[in-house]
Amino acid sequence: MSQDVKTYDRRQFLELAAAGAVGTAALGLSTPSAFASTPKRGGTITCGVGLLMQTPDPHRYTGGWGRQCIAPCWEGLTTPTPVAERARLLKEQGPDAAIPEVQPMLADNWEMDKEGRRYVFHLKKGVQFHNGKELNSEDVAWSWKRIQDPIHISAARQFLTVFLESIETPDRYTVVANLSQSYGAFLMANAWCFTVILPKNTIPYGSIWGFTPTFKPPSVAPPGTGPFQMVEYQQIHRAVYERFDDYRIDGLPYLDRIIYKVMSQDGPRTMALRAGNLDYTWSVENNWLAKQLEGRKPKVRHHFKKDNINFYPYINLATRTIYMNMHPDRDTPFKDERVRKALDYCIDRKILAKALYGDLAIPKVQGFNPDISAWGFTDIKGRERDITKARALLKEAGYPNGLDVEFKITPVWGKNDLRAQIIQQMAKPAGFRISIVSQIGSQYGANFRTYNYQMMMQNLSHEDPMNFHYNYLHTDPAVPYNGLSPRLGIKDAEMDRLLDQTAQESDVQKRRAVFKKVVQRMIDKAYLIPHTQEILSSAWSDRLKNFKPWAYYQFEQAFAEAWVED
């Protein structure tokens, strides 16, 4: 973590996160916390979110906005270990800690053979979908096959099924995955945030819920097994969830309804929370948060009596990253490694991070943060700003007089409008003439998927090397990638070899050692330019009781145990 971060230094934050994990252990699921009184059933909460999924089809999305929508409604075989628990283990055991990546969710337990090529999942019995159907192994097999078929454009396709060879369902509550090779990330790939389990044949082949004109869905969203079911969905306005009375955990949830209200900017969400118009927001405005935390001792939960607001500060899992198009058939200068390195030499990460996030800034050169992830490395180094080297590289690449570059951003997250302007000015002395193009909505993602960009702001990290790193740095033979890496257009045999080795290795420490080589090669070749991370904070009103975001991987999962007191 940056030494410029005054509010939470590395030691303090690890102690904070570890304290949260201890609290989690003490506060078992469906056990009211010390922060609340007797559970009360009923009530509605309103939450501020930045965006909603483009369609309510949970197989399509795995990103941050999608997870917020998925968390109350849908579940998977596993759930990722909460960040607070990961930080506790890293603090206690050091960077070589054996951290369990996932915990059981719809799977009661599982086993795999010693080579890691056969996974056997034993399902929980009696789990009901929102349509009244009982979960069984055929639902899991159908969900895997739907995600595997490229026609459904599932974000988790490669992560889940890259080595999936065949599926067996020996009985109603057992499902077996046979893989073509060992695969250390298969349990994580089956987490709810990647692989939601839907009832078999809920969606016709080739259709996307709420998107395919010939398919008229019988309900607002596909049935899930979560504590709430989606009953209203207006993509640019709001989503509404209602309590599912037959949820698999007796007595939960307590709330009647959850309303997600789309508010794209942190500032308006923060003002609405302070005014009492929201009960929860996943992130408050950064500068205002820094002022509230100034001079305060770090702890799991901060309470500000003046505004009747609670905070849970956390390190954002996403590292803000410049993506560059290297597709050999597209009009992009970043096919040339020298141009990519030149741009990297223009970025002063400390200044950029400080300008964007002040005392809550974390300059980064890699996707994973070693303070909260075993996939981050404390000794990985990146390039320092050096305009002389940048100019020389551009000249060597055939641009002695500089070059024009288009930088596509979306302003709805990450302060990208300000970020792009700072990067534009940092790169100007080297000869980069950057024009900024701002886009909102589905077109931004479509441009990314179809290589229709030169530079673009996206994120890097998530839970496992197989997600972003394998997905975007490894070649994919499927159409439309045709032997190039998705989104980036890379074809690097050595990177493929290292990523394949990362995928095959089941021993965590051996896998980590190989992945370190992946990260170093990514930096050396300037395939991506990670640059900043930040400390964020979820926030909720005093009206929302027993809300324990530190006990879950995705904070919105904590709505299952929360209630309201007016």
CATH of the domain at 486: 3.10.105.10
Please give the residue that has the higher pLDDT: either 371 or 393: 393
Same domain, 527 and 547: no
Same domain, 548 and 489: no
Of 215-219, 298-302, 368-372, highest mean pLDDT: 215-219
Please state the rounded mean pLDDT for residues 356-366. 91
Query: Which of these, 366, 318, 340, lies nearest to 455 by C-alpha position?
Result: 340
Q: What is the pLDDT of residue 300?
A: 64
The answer on pLDDT for 89 being more than 60 is: yes
The answer on pLDDT for 98 being more than 90 is: no
Q: What is the pLDDT of residue 466?
A: 87
Q: What is the pLDDT of residue 277?
A: 96
Q: What is the pLDDT of residues 319-334, one digit of tens each?
A: 999 999 999 999 999 9
Say if 226 falls within a structural domain: yes
Confidence of residue 443 (pLDDT cuts 50, 70, 90): confident
Q: What is the pLDDT of residue 490?
A: 97
Q: What would you measure as the largest C-alpha separation in the chain, in angstroms?
A: 71
What's the rounded Cα separation, in Å, for the pair 269 and 285? 8
Q: DSSP state, 474?
A: S
> Strand pairing partners for 62?
none
The answer on pLDDT for 336 being more than 80 is: yes
What's the rounded Cα separation, in Å, for the pair 513 and 516? 5
Q: What is the pLDDT of residue 313?
A: 87
Q: What is the pLDDT of residue 297?
A: 62
Say if 229 falls within a structural domain: yes
Query: Which of these, 555, 111, 114, 532, lies nearest to 355 by C-alpha position?
Result: 532
Say if 255 falls within a structural domain: yes
Q: What is the pLDDT of residues 16-42, one digit of tens each?
A: 555 554 444 333 343 444 444 689 999
Same domain, 553 and 527: no
Same domain, 252 and 339: no
Please give the residue that has the higher pLDDT: either 82 or 43: 43
CA R_g for the chain: 23
Please state the rounded mean pLDDT for residues 89-116. 84
Contact call for residues 322 and 484 (beta carbons, < 8 A): no
Same domain, 352 and 484: yes
The answer on pLDDT for 2 being more than 80 is: no
In 407-527, alpha helices (H)? 416-427, 442-449, 468-473, 493-504, 508-524
Same domain, 241 and 381: no
Question: Which of 123-132, 373-382, 436-445 has the lowest average pLDDT?
Answer: 436-445
Show the domain range for 223.
10-259+542-564
Say if 267 falls within a structural domain: no
Query: pTM here?
Result: 0.84
Q: DSSP state, 128?
A: B
Q: What is the pLDDT of residue 34?
A: 42
- The number of distinct structural domains making up the chain is 2
Please give the residue that has the higher pLDDT: either 479 or 226: 226
Please state the rounded mean pLDDT for residues 102-125. 94
Please give the residue that has the higher pLDDT: either 41 or 92: 41
Q: What is the pLDDT of residues 476-499, one digit of tens each?
A: 888 888 999 999 999 999 999 999
Same domain, 227 and 207: yes
Q: What is the pLDDT of residue 25?
A: 37
Q: What is the pLDDT of residue 374?
A: 80
Q: Is the peptide bond before 223 cis (omega within 30 degrees of 0)?
A: no
Q: What is the pLDDT of residue 463?
A: 78
Please state the rounded mean pLDDT for residues 85-102. 77
Same domain, 549 and 480: no
Say if 278 falls within a structural domain: no
The three-state secondary structure class of 49 is: strand
- Residues counted in the chain: 566
The pair of structure tokens assigned to 57 is: 């089809």
Please give the residue that has the higher pLDDT: either 304 or 424: 424
The answer on pLDDT for 6 being more than 70 is: no
Q: What is the pLDDT of residue 84?
A: 74
Confidence of residue 193 (pLDDT cuts 50, 70, 90): very high
* Percent of residues, the chain, with pLDDT higher than 90: 65
Q: What is the pLDDT of residue 184?
A: 85
Say if 281 falls within a structural domain: no
Say if 250 falls within a structural domain: yes
A 10 A CB-CB count for 392 gives 15
Contact call for residues 364 and 377 (beta carbons, < 8 A): no
Same domain, 557 and 463: no
Q: What is the CATH number of the domain that holds 64?
A: 3.40.190.10
Confidence of residue 310 (pLDDT cuts 50, 70, 90): very high
Same domain, 435 and 525: yes
Same domain, 473 and 527: yes
Please state the rounded mean pLDDT for residues 308-325. 91
Question: Which of 2-16, 52-66, 384-398, 519-533 has the lowest average pLDDT?
Answer: 2-16
Please give the residue that has the higher pLDDT: either 156 or 300: 156
The pair of structure tokens assigned to 339 is: 């141009």
Q: What is the pLDDT of residue 173?
A: 98
Q: What is the pLDDT of residue 31?
A: 41
458-495 burial string, b = 16+ CB within 10 Å, else e? bbbbbbbbbbbbbbbbbbbeeeebeebbbbbbbebeeb
Same domain, 224 and 373: no
Of 4-13, 18-27, 502-511, 525-534, highest mean pLDDT: 525-534
